[in-house]
Homo-oligomer: A and B are copies of this chain.
């Protein structure tokens, strides 16, 4: 039981230490997973680079898969934040939806997102739309779309279905860009096609 301020301060010391080691391992894992891929990344090398051993890893994350889950959660959170920022920056609600998709496409230029989120993550952890944060992101898109349907801007389709299709189009565009010889060159083409495709959901021609 904690019954004084000093004891409380001391009591948090171990938790802070643990968070520190968790952070170090996750940081090393992000680098290793992005560089070598999940399967080829050795837990021994991973923890060694963080100045630790596999003992710390299994104590904190339970398994290799548990570590990947933690890494995915962290990156996913960063992605959601960036997408929300992009959405808020747009003038209209419809524009927000588009900017969100464009932001998603742009993020896939980063190897970490590419390898961990788009390739290894789904294979090891299963369908991305089942991940907690991805669900939150998709839910927001779905709600935005539903609002657009209610206000009459968008055709009366199933909001979730449309959200997933939009997401998928953006995702594939992202994969294409990341695998392209000159990613910067194909990015504008993908963004333009994305904007055009999305208008299919609009009620009236823009």
Q: Residue A190 at the B interface, CB < 8 A?
A: yes
Chain B residues, Cβ within 8 Å of A198:
197, 200
Most buried by B among A126, A157, A158, A196: A196
Chain B residues, Cβ within 8 Å of A128:
175
CB contact under 8 A between A179 and B122, given known A158-B189, A162-B196, A165-B169:
no
A165 touches B179 (CB 8 A): no
Q: Residue A164 at the B interface, CB < 8 A?
A: yes
A175-203 interface with B by 8 A CB criterion: 175-176, 178-179, 186, 189-190, 192-194, 196-202
> How far apart sit A162 and B186, CA to CA, in the bound complex (Å)?
12
Q: Residue A132 at the B interface, CB < 8 A?
A: no
A interface, CB within 8 angstroms of B: 37-39, 118-120, 122-124, 126-130, 155, 157-158, 160-162, 164-173, 175-176, 178-179, 186, 189-190, 192-194, 196-202, 205
6 contacting pairs across A/B (C-beta < 8 A)? A123-B123, A127-B175, A161-B186, A162-B193, A162-B197, A197-B201
